[in-house]
Chains A and B, each alone.
Chain A
Amino acid sequence: MNGSGTSLKRYAITRVVLVIPMVFILLTFVFLLMRVAPGNPISASLGGHVPQSVINQISHQLGYDKPILVQYKDYLWAILHGDLGSTITDRRTVSSIIEVNGAATLELTFFAMIIAIVVGVSVGLLAGRFRDTPVDAAGRVFGIVAYAMPVFFIGLLAQLFFGSYLNWLPISDQASPITQATLESHTNIMLVDAIIDRNWDAFWDVVRHLILPAFTLGLVFAGVFIRLVRVNVIRTMKDDYIEAARARGVNERSVVYHHAFRNALVPVVTVIGLQFALLLGGAVLTETTFNWPGIGHELLLYIQNRDYAAVQGIMIVFALVVVLISVAIDFVNAFIDPRVRY
């Protein structure tokens, strides 16, 4: 057997090194995009209220009238020194935004992903198992509708039905105002903070507030998993070893759940990691709909206010998270399947 392909170590190094140009390209893109769009943070906040001379003076103070290449150089220099900067509008450090609001997004996306996996895999398995039956049809329709419907629309419907009409669940925020005001912040993840404080009233309050947004975001991605799992189950069910198992007298239930299902899930693991990037994007809309204080919610406000520093800083973190996750997924794939090499 000759040595075709590289070793895992070399592959890993290559993938890590490639992260640098990927992030650099994204940073440059974000920098240019923010400056191409008309307006700057000063005119966005003061325009329509003070004379242009005041706006010009402040813009000069902050260096927005410098040549764009000079601004770019300053920006890269700060990044290289690990300085993600502070927002212009409310003077928060980007690292504190990541710490506080990132924790809220992590809480939401984590549970949304669990729901997406549980619902998506279960429904996809049933649809694949009972192919061409009403169960299959219902599962596929559900998957398509969940995936096609805009996440904010699902969120609004959920708020109106479960929150307003049935009055079962709260419709916004991470917790009730009293819980938010009184719960001590240890990790910025409210569920964990409530557990640390053994404040079970607060714990259940946070759980109740998490249900609607997590289900809203999770269902959209469940639609992706439903279709993927279904296709993989159907494909796997046609494999020779499945026929062999049936021929050996293994009952159908075991054939499906012990043989076909596990193998059908292997490609799904890869997709779960890749969907994480989209999950972050979906979180922006979900967080806005449910007033969830996550990083996506803040990003939207900063974009509207043309807060260059905030948007650039947050996008760097987003980029790093997505890139690192995709690299991690690549490692897992390369580890499992030696055919995956460069």
Chain B
Amino acid sequence: MRSKRLTWRVVGAVAVCALAAVAVTSSALARSSASSVLIDGTTDTVTNVDPAGNYDFGSFTVDELIFQHLLELAPGGKVVPGLAKSCSASANLKTWTCSLKTGIHFQNGDAFSSADVKWSFDRVIKIKDPSGISSLLSNLKSTSVAGPNRVVFHLTNPQSTWPFILTTGAGFIVPKGAYPADKLNPNTSAQYGTGPYQLVKYTSGQQAVFKAYNGSSVKAKTPNLIINYYSKSSTMKLAIQKGEIDMAFRDFTPTEYGSLGKASGIKVYTGNGVVIRYLVLNVKQKPFDNPAVRKAIAYLIPRQTIATRVYHGLVKPLWSMVPAGLPGHTDIFKTVYGSAPSKAKAAAVLKKAGVTTPVAVTLWWTPTHYGDASADEYAEIQRALNASGLFKVTLQSAEWATYSKTLGTQYGAFQLGWFPDYPDAEDYLLPFYGTKSNFTSNGYSSSAMDAILKREQGARTNAGRIATIKAAQVLSAKDVPIIPYWQGAMVAVGRKGVSGIPRTLDPTFIMRFWLISKS
């Protein structure tokens, strides 16, 4: 009996010592995290690292570290030389010739040449990955080489924005010798580019580990980078508060940002962003087939309330599908519909059209793709429309996989958001207003708009292009098949000691980890 009590006491003492060892050892581990390692957290996911196999932001962020483009987007959105010294167009804008830089080597030692460029673009088209990335090259007829340092792109249609296409995920350059022509390089295989970081370890859904590549033309300030993947923002929030990660980019809820902004040792940084949110109206479905109904809603959208009450200032009211900060942007919806909701004007337009009020409408939104704040966002829109007495709004929601398949094929009015392939007005106009390119299935088709967009794509001067972009916005406000309402900031969170984050917050929405350091 006594020996048994002694046994239990010994076991207890060992357990206490073990716990103490765990606590002590944890301090040693924490101290061993070097300032040469920057740890970022994100709720983004990575599908494929091979640029020919992904069309999502999480994968793009990883690819930006490993690979480079012929042309790059500088902070602010200007297109600048990358692996190419310059790119110029023929008079008809259907042939683009790029002169390449020399003396560059991939991370596997292969020398960079025009053959790699042709290989990279050809394989994106040939693989035609289900991710849809090849759709960005839909206008590329063929790629040819004119010597080791020159490559020529032959387009099907004139495109003045082709340089922007070269900066997208479809334009990453890979070494010919390491990437198959007709299939993806799996995530379990080594990935090689010319970017500032080399991927040294990738564990799907968990972590990507990078080491600075000294042979890159872009130098990284921090030698080692780890990106940790989280499925829930609440877990990531706790992780940054505890110091398990140094920074976090994408994405927290507005409430979490607010809480982090007040936490000691943590700072929330914001910069101009280009993510937008808008309400799509099905112009073929009652009652939205009546322009008066669409205009009345445009008069009543509570942009400022949404920005302040729902997003705590992390978004700003948006008055055009082309976000502020991009060349050609105009606050057209403010000009036409006013800066504040107006019940009187909404009532007048409905009365003039002989519409009986209140108009019963159903607004659709999705809780699983655009963040938890979507519920509050649509509650505010419902509140504003109902409060006017002119509408009786019913809200309906569907999970993203169902919602994204349905859109305008069934919904009369529905929420969508947009993140551009490239930060140019064209990418905010074509996908929404072009008859053939409109993905919303809202039935909008205008020969006038198609003509404007065609002129925009073939514009030979910048001034001419800007004029067509403005004309498209004017028509969009007149026809109002879509009502834009907010533009989001680019937001990142950093712990004390992490510097350089503000330098990479801009309309290109590229997180340039190579500019960030840690003390």
Contacts and interface: CB of A to CB of B under 8 A. Distances in A.
Nearest to A290: B235
Interface string B1-45: 000000000000000000001110110110011000101000001
B242 interface: yes
Contact of A171 (B184, B186, B187, B242): B242
With most chain A CB atoms within 10 A of its CB, the pick from B33, B436, B439 is B439
Given A176-B244, A201-B25, A208-B22, A304 B368 contact: yes
Interface in A15-54: 37-52, 54
Interface string A141-175: 00000000000000010011001100110111110
Interface in A98-116: 100-101
Interface stretch (B203-211, B450-458, B493-501): B203-211
Contacts of A42: 130
7 contacts: A39-B402, A89-B47, A90-B48, A91-B186, A100-B204, A156-B234, A290-B235
Interface of B: 21-23, 25-26, 28-29, 32-33, 37, 39, 45-48, 53, 55-56, 128, 130-132, 135, 184, 186-188, 201, 203-207, 209, 226, 228, 230-232, 234-235, 238-239, 241-242, 244-245, 368-369, 398-407, 409, 416-418, 431, 436-439, 441
Given A172-B230, A297-B231, 11 more contacts: A40-B401, A52-B409, A90-B204, A100-B203, A164-B238, A173-B228, A177-B39, A177-B226, A177-B244, A201-B29, A293-B206
Contacts, number: 182
Most chain A CB neighbours (cut-off 10 Å) among B128, B207, B230: B207
Given A61-B130, A201-B29, A45 B56 contact: yes
Contact of B401 (A39, A168, A289): A39
A207 B23 CA distance: 11
Given A90-B46, A171-B242, A204-B25, A293 B203 contact: yes
Contacts of A298: 205
Contacts of A92: 187, 204
A276 B507 CA distance: 50
A62 B46 contact: no
Given A177-B226, A301-B231, A164 B438 contact: no
A50 B230 contact: no
A90 B202 CA distance: 13
Interface string A295-323: 00110110011100000000000000000
Contact of B242 (A51, A55, A164): A164
A61 B399 CA distance: 25
B203 to A, nearest CB: 7
Contact of B402 (A37, A52, A164): A37
Contact of A51 (B25, B238, B438): B438
A165 B207 CA distance: 26
Interface stretch (A119-127, A178-186, A229-237): A178-186
A38 B402 contact: yes
Given A297-B205, A306-B401, A48 B439 contact: yes
A187 interface: no
A327 interface: no
A58 interface: yes
A300 to B, nearest CB: 8
A181 B405 contact: no
A88 interface: yes
Contacts of A90: 46-48, 187, 204
A47 B235 contact: no
Nearest to A185: B203
A96 B418 CA distance: 34
A168 B28 CA distance: 14
Contacts of A100: 203-204
A291 interface: yes
Given A54-B132, A163-B238, A37 B401 contact: yes
Nearest to B415: A48
B482 to A, nearest CB: 13
Contacts of A207: 22
Nearest to A253: B1
Nearest to A306: B401
A177 B228 contact: yes
B29 A291 contact: no
A49 B56 CA distance: 10
Contact of A163 (B203, B242, B403): B242
A288 interface: yes
Contact of B33 (A40, A47, A62, A178): A178
B441 A52 contact: yes
Interface string A194-208: 000000110011011
A171 B29 contact: no
A101 B203 CA distance: 10
Contact of B201 (A40, A181, A305): A181
Contacts of A96: 188
Contacts of A40: 401, 405
A291 B230 contact: yes
A201 B207 CA distance: 20
A253 to B, nearest CB: 9
Given A39-B401, A168-B23, A293-B206, A178 B187 contact: no
A17 to B, nearest CB: 37
A38 B406 CA distance: 9
Contact of B439 (A41, A52, A201): A52
Given A47-B404, A172-B238, A204 B439 contact: no
B42 to A, nearest CB: 12
Contact of A205 (B25, B130, B231, B399): B25
Given A39-B401, A172-B230, A181-B209, A47 B407 contact: yes
Nearest to B56: A45
Nearest to A96: B188
A61 to B, nearest CB: 7
Nearest to B404: A47
Contacts of A178: 29, 32-33, 37, 226
Contacts of A101: 205
A177 B406 contact: no
Contacts of A164: 238, 241-242
B104 to A, nearest CB: 28
Contacts of A205: 25-26, 29
